[in-house]
Structure 1
C-alpha cells in the first residue's frame, strides 16, 4: 500500500520520517511518503535540540477557516500526487486526517483512502462550512475540558499574548462515524490520550484496531511495541479490503 504521512505540530516531514524509520523497516513492503504543513510555529518540546527547523503546524490557531485551508491543501496533495491507499498521522497530523475523513463522511463523499493510522491524536477540528452551518448540532463543540493542553498551544503558539482560539472540535455524539479501517496508537502517559480516545469513538468499532503502550506523546520506539504496531496495521490493511 501507498501511505501519505502527516507530521505533528512543531516538527516537519523530515522529522516524522526519522521518527517513523523503525516502524517503516517493519512495513518494508509498503511505501511511505511525507508532506509538510504550510505554517511556521514554535518547535515541539524536545525537538529543537535534536532536529533543525523549520518547525511547522497545520493551522496556527485552529480557527475554522484555517482548518479549511489545511484540509484543502491535504485534498490537493491526495488528488495531484495520488492515489494513496492510506494515511498515517501523528498528533496534529492525525487530527487533520480525522477531520478530513469526518468531513468526507458528513458530505457523503466516497472515502479518499482505505485506511488511516493515527498516533497520539489531538482533538480533530471542524472546518468553516461545517462549523458555520451546524454550530448548534451535536456534530461539534467548542474545544474545552481535557483539550486544554492543546487549546493552550492553539491560543498562544509559544507566545505569551497570542490570539484566542475559535477552534471547534468534532464530537462523538451523534451518528457520524469514519467508515474506513483505522489503527489507533496511544501512549498511557500522553496528556492528549483522552482526545485519542474520543477519536476512537468517531470510528466504526468493527474496523478499529487499537494499541495502548507505555509511552507519552511520542512515536513508539521500543521493538516489541513496534512489532505490535506493524501487526495491527497489516490487520487493518486486510480489513480494508473487506466490505464490512
Structure 2
C-alpha cells in the first residue's frame, strides 16, 4: 500500500515521520509512506513543547484565520494527487486528518459514482471535518453524524487518546464514516500518536490499520 501522510498543525514532515515510526515499523516494509509538508509557517504545537528543537521550522496546511485558505487547501491537495498519485491510503493526524476527511467528502459529492482517491483512511486525533461545499462559499460548518449521517464510505480507522483535546471532534468524524468498515481505538494518552513507550497501544493500532487495509483491498476488487 502507498500511504499519503499529512501531519498536524505546528509540526512538520520530519516530526510526523518520528511520531509514526513505531507504527510504520510494525506494519512492515511492504508499504511506502510519502510525507507531505505544509507550506504555511506556524507556531510549534503545544503538545510538542520540550520534545523538539525550538529552532526547527513548523508548518500548517491552512491559515486558520482564513476560510479561503481552508477551501484552497482542498484544491491544492487535489492538484497534488493528480500529479503525484495515485495513493492507496491516507494516514493523517489532527489538522491533516481534518483536511483529508473533508477532501474525501468533497470528492464523493463531486463524483458519487466513481472510486474515491483513497481506498481507505487512518485518522489520528482528527480535528473533525467540515462541509466542503459551504467552505467554497465562504462559510465554516462542522459536519456531525446527527445532522449529516454517513458521508465517508471507504474503510477507516479512528484513533485518539482518552485525554485528547480533539476527542469530541474525532468521535464526530468516526460517526460520519460507514459503521460496517469503521474501526475505533481510544488509547490511554492525549493528543498524540502512541510510540515506543506505549507498545500495547501501538500493537492494537497496527491491528486496526491492517484490518482497514484488508477491507480496502476487498473494496478495491469490487471496482475492478
What TM-score, normalized by structure 1, do the two folds share? Answer: 0.81
After superposition, residues 201-220 of structure 1 pair within 5 angstroms as: 201-220=175-194
Give the Cα separation in 1 of the matches to 2:148 and 2:86. 31
Q: Indicate the residue corresponding to 1:9 in structure 2.
A: 9
Describe the superposition over 1:44-83 as per-residue Cα deviations: whole angstroms up to 9, x where unpaired: 0143541443211121126432112111221122221111
The count of residues paired between Structure 1 and Structure 2 equals: 212
Deviates most, 76-85 or 210-219 = 76-85
1:63 and 1:167 in contact (8 A); partners too? no
Q: Does 1:53 align with 2:49?
A: no
Q: Secondary structure at the match of 1:242?
A: helix
**For the Cα contact (< 8 Å) 1:106–1:176, is it kept in 2?**
no
The answer to whether the 8 A contact 1:12-1:56 is kept is yes
Answer whether contact 1:62 1:125 (CA < 8 A) is retained: no
1:160 corresponds to = none
Runs of at least 5 residues in structure 1 that lack an aligned partner in the other structure: 136-165
Displacement of 1:242 = 2.6
What SS is found at the alignment partner of 1:17? helix
Assess, with a 3 A threshold, how the Cα gap between structure 1 residues 45 and 206 changes in structure 2: closer, same or farther: same
* TM-score for the superposition, normalised by structure 2: 0.87
1:177 to 151, 155, 158: 151
Instruction: Identify the residue that residue 130 of structure 1 maps to in structure 2.
Output: 134
What residue is the counterpart of 1:114 in the other structure?
119
Q: What is the CA–CA distance in structure 1 between the aligned matches of 2:136 and 2:205, rounded to whole Å?
A: 38
The answer to whether 1:168 aligns with 2:141 is yes
* Correspondence list, 1:224-239, <5 A: 224-239=200-215
Instruction: Tell me what 1:43 maps to.
Output: 44
Q: Displacement of 1:108 after TM fit?
A: 2.7
Match of 2:165 in 1: 191
Distance in 2 (alpha carbons) for counterparts of 1:114 and 1:19: 23
Q: 2:6, 2:36 within 8 Å by CA — same for their partners in 1?
A: yes
The secondary structure found in structure 1 opposite 2:62 is coil
